[in-house]
Chain A
Amino acid sequence: MSAKDPQAYPLTAGMEMNGKAVGLQKYEALGGYEGAKKALLQMGPAQVMQEVKDSNLRGRGGAGFPTGQKWSFVPMGENAPNTRYLVVNADEMEPGAFKDKFLLEGNPHQLIEGMVISSYAIGASVSYVFLRWAYKEAAKRIEQAISEAHSKGYLGKNIFGSGFDHEVRLHTSAGRYICGEETALLTALEGKRGIPRAKPPFPQICGLWGKPTVVNNVETMANVPHIIRNGAKWFKEISRSSDGGTKIYGASGRVNRPGAWELPMGTPLRELLEIHAGGMKDGYKLKGIMPGGASTEFMLEEHLDTPMDFDSVPKAGSRLGTGTLMVMDHKTCPVGLVLNIMEFFARESCGWCTPCREGLPWLTGILRKVEHGDGNPEDLEILNEHIPLLGMGRTFCALAPGAIEPLQSALKYYKQDFEAHIEKKTCPYK
């Protein structure tokens, strides 16, 4: 990725394939921290917020909520609470996702700069990176970047002589998927058992320690310096869709070149699979794709011309999610795969609300029975009946609704596979 045009590939320009981070000097040579300087010296917080709104940057954690709009719910002005927080969600634990790791390890200063600018926009003097336990290398690189940014005056008191003070703190978690849910993340950051909170009130009003808080994903933050430096208009132009910017896409499974790539937002699924991932391995045919992690519905061959952006993927019955594809080949058992995913969600349920705590282990048990050849036709009815019972509005957070997305689409697209397990009393893929 070394010789890439920073105007077209802002997030990964300067990143090398050797696995090392873009160092501070190199980042500065690419224009690093100029966005922060411009924001703090030439723009007011409201102007920064407006620029991000105009850019159509949408949250890269998976939900795609417009970032500028998210910020605008933070109470500002003289009568607003003085203490506000920015929290970066770097708890990437969505199975199949590795895009934030790629950015954290590849260019930690880009994250820090995004945090400084975003914190300035919402008036936060302290921000946190909530990092997942397993990302040990990322932790070292973030710590180093924080300390380097301090020594150059990009963090600390009176940054660029603007009068704006800011500190970034790193919190490394101890391993639990639910902490990626924004309200559970805040509860965990307060040192408590990380269970989700009821919304409203939303974190922008009542977040960390009851103060107005914005929670943004790593990739979202990484985009902010470039939007400020190059403008909202440029950001919209580098995209192939109405959502602004580029996207870190990726692919895993039996493809020729698994990996992660920065491409214009809205790049069609077919291009990702056939060009960037190099197509299916010899002897393997495409059976389905989970486009954005384990909590997204399968997409099929017929969906390959879908532009991969937040509004187009739902038209094909799924969600963009993290944009890191898990590609299932025709020799992989879809029942076994959904069982693996359901085991994960059942284990990671925080246990706070009943449908998730009781429902997911129940579904896991039924799926295990079917996969191992002990299922009967009524089991499929029970699975189908549970889908609305674990849906949105029945639970505190999106864990259980996310968990049933792959099951729901598997029951629809791979019904014959489920039935074959029951008829043959064994897994036909074994």
Chain B
Amino acid sequence: MLTPSEIEEIKHEVERAGRGLNASVEALKIVQRQRRWVPDEELEEVSKLLGVTTHELDAVATFYSFIFRRPVGKNLILVCDGPACWMLNGHMLAETIKAELGIGLGETTKDGEFTFLPISCIGLCDKAPAMMINDDVYGGLTPEKVREALKKYR
């Protein structure tokens, strides 16, 4: 269930945007901030606040790579799978993550701490290979640097 402060925030976004549907992405991001994903119950609540059907809102939610309709871990590991990183063996970093955390692409650790996903080119091509963990960006990666970076979130 949405908290009263989340409801207030969503209402504020609707007001700012002028009409309900315009605020869809912002509203879904508000739902995700604490839960990290958008469960059915909250999707329905938001659709009522926006004055749209659940299907209209789910069409938006399922469209974007970073609106999640399934649970994800506390920390998101997003390894760039763009061509500039691929040329510098960015795809090999998945092996390091698998060895460290036991998860492959699309998987979450059993303790719910980490989810590992691909991300399209993040504009760090001159520092390839690159990744993001949550809002932090890492470039010039080697297996050693990936292991170092992961330590900060454990």
Q: Does A301 contact B (CB under 8 A)?
A: no
Q: Do A324 and B65 touch across chains, with their CB atoms under 8 A apart? A: no
Return the contact of A326 from the options B20, B25, B87 (Cβ within 8 A): B87
Return the contact of B82 from the options A96, A101, A137, A250 (Cβ within 8 A): A96
Measured CB to CB, the closest approach of chain B to A328, in angstroms, equals 7
Q: Do A98 and B83 touch across chains, with their CB atoms under 8 A apart? A: no
Which residues of chain B have C-beta atoms less than 8 A from A94's C-beta?
121
Q: Do B87 and A254 touch across chains, with their CB atoms under 8 A apart? A: yes
B:30-81 near A, CB below 8 Å = 59-60, 63-67, 78, 81
Q: Does B84 contact A (CB under 8 A)?
A: yes
Q: Do A341 and B83 touch across chains, with their CB atoms under 8 A apart? A: yes
Measured CB to CB, the closest approach of chain B to A187, in angstroms, equals 10
Q: How many chain-A residues does the 8 Å CB contact rule pick out? A: 50
Q: Does B1 contact A (CB under 8 A)?
A: no
Which residues of chain B have C-beta atoms less than 8 A from A192's C-beta?
21, 24, 59-60
Q: Do B83 and A175 touch across chains, with their CB atoms under 8 A apart? A: no
Measured CB to CB, the closest approach of chain A to B40, in angstroms, equals 18
The stretch from A62-70, A128-136, A151-159 touching chain B is A128-136
The stretch from B97-105, B106-114, B124-132, B143-151 touching chain A is B124-132
Q: Does A363 contact B (CB under 8 A)?
A: no
Give the one of B20, B21, B87 with max A CB within 10 A: B87
Closest to B58 in A: A193
Q: Do A173 and B64 touch across chains, with their CB atoms under 8 A apart? A: yes
Supply 28 A–B pairs (Cβ within 8 Å), ascending by A. A95-B120, A96-B125, A98-B126, A136-B135, A174-B25, A175-B64, A175-B119, A175-B120, A176-B63, A176-B64, A176-B65, A177-B120, A188-B25, A191-B23, A191-B24, A192-B21, A192-B24, A192-B60, A252-B125, A254-B87, A254-B88, A326-B83, A326-B125, A337-B83, A340-B83, A343-B81, A344-B82, A350-B63
